[in-house]
Structures are given as structure tokens and as C-alpha cells.
Structure 1
Amino acid sequence: MKRFLIYTIKIIVVAIFIAVALDGIYTAIFMQSKNRGKIETVFNSKAKNYDVVILGSSRANNHFVSQMFEDKGLKTFNYGMSGGHLFEASLMLKLMIERKYDIKNVILESDLNLSSDHEAEGIAALFLPYIHNSGVIKKHFSNQENFNELYYIPFYRYIKYDAKIGIRETFFTTIHKKTTALDNLGYYPLEKHKNGNMKNNITNLNPLKHNKYYEEIKNICKANHINFIPIMTPMCENVVGMNYFDKVKKTYPEIHNYENVVVENKYFSSCGHMTDQGAKIFTARIIKDFFKK
């Protein structure tokens, strides 16, 4: 029995040692990443100056054409993240402030994601390689149910989110394989597809009366003298339940409602995402209304 216990303890010690070593190796690799995605690019960056920073989900990523702002002399980057929620948008802005970014305006896509204050696991996982190297990231995740496992168990986060930060992503990061995430100043243009989903029902969607992460973004902007521009972006003409946007306006009267600036289906790749042509019409209106010179 004694030999068995000693053997078991040795296995446990070796397993912990391997986990700690792998955790250190993976983290060191991600700490050098600067060209695969928006999160690691911000984390591993130094102070930058922007006239306009765009935050939100894919409805920011696909709807705000960064180059059109640049053409007006406004240094801009679209940090919208497909699949992301306000949880991740807030953390992205916190990272920028932690890195001493000088930002004049933040445009936040504020509509459908106001109905939830949960993290988007697949996107949130991309912050986790840096959880031991950033007080901002640690604090942001500290209220999540699985925080202790993510923070204190070595290599656990890389195993749990293997599809996002596992061996495949680590390998591509090691060989500096680029993605399209940083192309077009962060904006991702969409094309019209004949099989695009042109129906959507948001009848049962309701904005939270107090979305924690929306309020965080608003307060961060106020504290850092950043002009905060929250915007509702368009949806196609087939959507059922468009009174959701009225509910948003009633709950958050400071949010600018632009959901009806572009409505024709021909300008949409899917019901919630405009094509490049539609995005350009929409962006032109935003520049005209908020950045007239």
C-alpha cells in the first residue's frame, strides 16, 4: 500500500510539473503574438492614438468601414469581434486603457447584445492566455463561475478551450501565420449570398434594464474623456419584432437608433449583417452625422 501511495504521488507530481511547463510554454508563445487576431494585437501593443475605435460584435465588424473614416482624416480601427458580446467589448477597451491608448471617440454597436451580459465563451477564451499577465483580464474574469479553475489550475484553460487556444492555435502562432482579422483596418466586408438567411425573429428579445458591460464601457469613456457614441445598426426588412429597437431606445435613450438607415434586402448578406455595399451607405451616414468637419 505504501509503495502504491508513493507511486501515485510521483505520478501526480510529474503531471503537475508537465502542466506547469506546458502552461508556461503556451503562454510564452501567445505573449509574442501580434498578427493573428485583434485581442493579442492589443495585448502585445504599446500606446496608440486613435480618433475612432469601433467596438461590438460582428454587427460592428461587418458594418463600419474603417477606411471611410480614414479618408476623412480620422485614424480608425474596427475592433468588432464576430461572435463577441459586450463582455468582450468592455474587456477590449479596458486593455486599451491599460496600454495607455489615446482615444478620442468610441463607437459601440449597442443593440442585440444588450439583451445579455454573459460572456461569449469562444471569444472570451482568446483573452485567457494572458490572465496571469494582466490585472485587468484577471479582474474581468473574477466573477465568472469557473474563474478559480481557469486561474489556479495550470494548463486547464488551454485544455478546456483547445479549439480556440489549444495546440493548433499555438502552432499557427509559433509560425506567425496571419489571419484576415487585421485586414481592412479590422473591417470585414461581406458579399451577397443567394443562400443567406434573410429571415429573423427577435420578438422575444428584450434589452436588460442594466447591462453591466454596456455601463462599464460608458463609464470608462467618461473617466478617460472619450466621446462615447453608442449606435444601433441596421437589420433587413424581413425581421419580425423590430420594436426591440424601440425598447432599447426607451431603456437607453442615449443610444442612437440607425436600424432603419439601410433596410432593403439587397444590401444584406444575412438579415443581421449588411454587405460591403450596405455597410458603405451606413458608414457614410455615421460619418456625416457625427464627424462633420
Structure 2
Amino acid sequence: MKKFLGFIIKIGFMTLLSAVLLDYFYTSVYLASDKRNKIDFVYNSKNRNYDVVILGSSRANNHFVSAMFEQKGLKTYNYGMSGGHLFEASLILKLMIERNYKIKTLILESDLNLSNEHQSEGVSAKYLPYIHSSEIVRKHFENETDFNELYYIPFYRYIKYETKIGIREVFFSMIQKKSKLLEDGGYYSLGNTKGNMKNNIVNLNPLPHNKYYEEIKNTCKANNIKFIAIMTPMCENVAGMNYFDKVKKAYPEIHNYENVVVDNKYFSSCGHMNDAGARLFTARILKDFFKK
């Protein structure tokens, strides 16, 4: 019995040691990587200067053409992230401020994600390699239900989100393989592909005081950043378009551009414009907010 218990203790010790060592190795790789996604691109940087920074979900990532801002002499980067919520947008802005970014204007895509304060697991997982090295990241996650497991159990976060931050991504980070997500000033063109051209947002309602929207707005105010919140277009076949009226009522400072581009030929899917639509939309934003 003693031998069996000793064997179990040894196995437990070796498992724990392996977890600690693997955790250290994975984390060290991420702390030296800045070419795989927009989060490590920010985390492992400092002192960047921008005239315009764009934040939001894929409806920012696919809708604001960075090169068109640059053509107007505006140093711009689109930090919109496909699948992201305001939870992640607020955190990346706080990391930028910590890294002494100088930002003149921030454009926030503020529409559908005002309806929730949840994290997007697929995007938020990419912050987890930094949960021990960054107090900002730790504090942002500490009220999440799985925080204790993610923070205190070695290597647990890498196992739980293996498809996002596991061995494949660690390998690509080690060899500094560049991601297309960082090209074109962060703008991701959907070309002329066609997806689902119907959508139903009838049951969607904006929260009256979205915590992370308010965080972004207050961070901008505290750091003298001009804050522009914008609702971006959706196609003609959407049920429940009065959602945007609800947003305007709850947040009168948000500019409603949902009907600036409506023709289906400018959309890749009902919630995402193709490249032609994005360029039409970006031209209107430049005209309205960046006249010279």
C-alpha cells in the first residue's frame, strides 16, 4: 500500500511539475511574439503613435479600410477583431494606454455588441497567456466565473483553449510566422464573397449602460482621445432594424450609419460588407469626420 501511495504521489508531482514547466514555456513564447494576432501585436509593443485607431468586432475589422485613412495622411490601424465583443475591445485599449500609445482619435464600432457584456471566448482566450504577467489582464478577467481555474491551475488555460493558444499557435509564434490578420493596416477585406443574406435581430436590445462601452469612453476621456462611436451598415434583408433606433435612444452620442450602405451588392453577408461596400462606407466616414 505504501508503495502504491508513493507511486501516486510521484505521478502527481511529475504531472504538476510538467504543467508548471509547460506553462512557463508556452508563456515565454507568447511574451516574445508580436506577429500572430492583434493582441500580441499590442502586448509586445510600446510607444506607437496613431491619428486613428479603430476598435470593435468583425463589423469594424471588415468595414473600415485603413489604407483610405492613410491616403488622407492619417496614420491608422484597424484593431477590430472578428468575433470580438466590447469586453475585448476595452481590454486592448487599456493595454495600449499602458504601453504609452499616443492616439488622437478612436473609432468604436458600437451596435450589436451593446446588447451584452459577455466575453468572446475565442478572442479573450488570446489574452490568457498574459494573465500572470499583466495586472491589467488579470483584473479584467477576475470577475469571470472561471477565473480561479485559469489563474491558479498551471497550464489549464492552454489545455482549455488548445485550439486558440495551444501547441499549433505556440509553434507558429516560435517561428515568427506572420499572420494575414496584421496586414493592410488591420483591415480584413471580404472581397466579393457571398454568405447568409438574411438576419433577424428582432429580440436584440441594447443594455442601458454597457459596462465595457462606458470603460472605453471613459478611457478616451481620461487620455484626451477623441471618441467617435459609430453604428455600421447591415443589408436590406434584416428583420428588427429598429434595434438601431433603440441604440440611438439609449446612447444618443453614437452616430447611426446603418443605412448609409444598404444595397445587397455591397454585402458579403447581411452583417458584413464586401470590399466595395467597405470602401463606400469608409469614404463617407472620412468625409463626415476628417475634413481638411
Does the TM-score normalized on the shorter chain lie above 0.5?
yes
Give 2:52's aligned residue. 52
The aligned amino acid for 2:165 is I
Displacement of 1:236:
0.4
Name the structure 2 match of 1:35.
35
SS of residue matched to 2:106:
strand
More deviation in 219-228 or 184-193?
Answer: 184-193
Code of the aligned partner of 2:8: T
Deviation at 1:4, TM superposition (A): 2.2
Deviation per CA, 1:93-131: give whole Å up to 9, x if none.
Answer: 011011010111110000000011100001000000011
Aligned length: 292
Instruction: Tell me, in whole angstroms, the C-alpha distance in 1 between the residues paired with 2:273 and 2:51.
Output: 24
Q: Which runs of 5+ in 1 are unaligned?
A: none
How far 1:5 sits from its partner (Å)?
Answer: 2.0
Q: CA offset at residue 45 of structure 1?
A: 0.4
1:208 is paired with a residue of what secondary structure? coil
CA distance, structure 1, for counterparts of residue 193 and residue 224 of structure 2: 42
Distance 1:9 1:215 in 2: 50
Cα distance in structure 2, aligned partners of 1:238 and 1:46: 43
1:96-135 alignment, distance < 5 Å: 96-135=96-135
Aligned ranges for residues 95-244 of structure 1 at < 5 Å?
95-194=95-194, 196-244=195-243
Q: Kindly, what percent of the aligned residue pairs are identical?
A: 72
* 2:83 corresponds to 1:76: no
1:276 corresponds in structure 2 to: 275
Give the C-alpha shift of residue 13 in structure 1. 1.1
**Runs of 4+ with >6 A deviation:** none
Structure 2: gaps of 5 or more residues = none
Q: C-alpha distance in 2, partners of 1:33/1:279?
A: 30
| Deviation of 1:132 (Å) | 0.8
CA displacement, residues 223-251 of structure 1 (integer Å, 9 cap, x when unaligned): 11111100000000111110000000001
CA distance in 1, matches of 2:132, 2:74: 35
Tell me if the contact between 2:193 and 2:274 (Cα under 8 Å) persists in the aligned partners. Answer: no
Q: Distance in 1 between matches of 2:43 and 2:191?
A: 31
For the Cα contact (< 8 Å) 2:110–2:231, is it kept in 1? yes
Q: CA deviation at 1:177?
A: 1.4
Deviations 1:62-85 (CA, angstroms, capped at 9, x unpaired): 000001111111110000000000
* TM-score, with length taken from structure 2: 0.99
Q: Shift in Å at residue 270 of structure 1?
A: 0.4
Root-mean-square deviation (CA, aligned residues, Å) is 0.8
